[in-house]
Amino acid sequence: NRIEVGISPHLHAEMPRREAWLRATVEGKEPNRFRPLSFAPPAAWQDAGEVAYLPAEVAMPCLMPEDAKHFAAGWQCGGGTVCTVLATASGVRTKLAQCLLPKDSEKMFSGHPCLTGSITSNPGQPFNDRYSISGQFAAFATDISRAAYTCRPPKIGVPAGIAYRGCDDKDRAFAAFKPGKPMPNEICGLVGGKKFDICVATNNFDQCLGGAVNRGNRPACSADHFCREDYMCQSLPPDTPGIARVKGIGFCSPTYFIFQMRIDNHATPWLGAVRATMGAGFGAAEAE
């Protein structure tokens, strides 16, 4: 249970800007003082006052045209993706959008968002913001299977939902990962379930790892292919069969799945709606 990639997409995009700044300073030139948005993709930093963004990868943030016009520079979605609104939030003018596959795309993969919604903000108690689902646009299978994608709901701890498909024998053998070929978007990683939820509530980590973790498809990630928001790149266990085929590649997990990074309160396993209190620890909640 450890992190495979220890940096964020923001730092990955920020490093070229800092390198260009340092290079300009050493050469006695005026550095490019443009400050990009924290969720912007990497850019080519050359002449002062100019910035050329690289296309954003799948599931990375983007700006809708009506929002992009309010900023000095924007970027495009790459890889055949389309900037798609995932949620609106009360009190926030900018829509929350990501570069996603077109509807009914044959390139769907586990971890891809599948739901749109709206957020009712609570400025005084942000931990009590409320999210409501407004629609579904991907992963329409009604049941979990190894062939089709179903949409897992936000209530299990996955913002905007996630498309999910179980691992088949080829997935478990990492058959799609081939030397010299582009990295597939999904990998047979580790997933939790009801047993994991209950186990985490007890903080008994040994029991969680030993009896409540299964194999399941998740987004693949690496040092230059990042997870979408609220997920981190987790390493596969070293004793995973066939792991040599996927050296340097991990799978995207919610932050609470990585025990050392449990900065986000895990969805509680108890029945009924719950509300986190200001002093609540991991797994603590107050019934509404």
Q: Map out the domains of the chain as residue ranges.
A: 80-165, 166-288
pLDDT of residue 83 exceeding 60, the answer is yes
Q: How far is CA 252 from CA 25, 179, 222, 238, in A?
A: 37, 21, 10, 17
The amino acid that residue 240 corresponds to is T
Say if CB 56 and CB 42 are below 8 A apart.
no
pLDDT in tens, 224-266: 899 988 889 999 999 999 999 999 999 998 887 776 666 555 5
Identity (one letter) of the amino acid at 109?
F
How far is Cα 128 from Cα 112, in angstroms, rounded to an integer? Answer: 26
Predicted confidence band at 72 (pLDDT cuts at 50, 70, 90)? confident
Q: Which of 15, 51, 16 is nearest to 32 (CA)?
A: 51
User: Three-state SS for 260?
Assistant: helix
Angle at 221 between CA 209 and CA 138, to 5 degrees: 95
Four-CA torsion 76, 79, 81, 87, nearest 10 degrees: -70
pLDDT digits (tens, 9 = 90+) for 88-100: 888 888 888 999 9
- Pairing between β-strand 82-89 and β-strand 115-120 as defined by DSSP bridges: parallel
The per-residue pLDDT for range 122-149, each reduced to its tens digit, is 888 888 888 899 999 999 999 989 999 9
**277 pLDDT band (50/70/90 cuts)?**
very low
C-alpha dihedral sign at 93, 97, 102, 103: negative
142-161 pLDDT, tens digit per residue, is: 998 999 999 999 888 788 99
Average pLDDT, rounded, for the chain: 84
Instruction: Please choose, from the candidates 139, 123, 132, 114, the residue with its C-alpha nearest in 3D space to the C-alpha of residue 59.
Output: 114
Q: Token pair of 19, please?
A: 């390198």
Contact 200, 194 (CB under 8 A): no
Pairing of strands 274-275, 250-254: unpaired
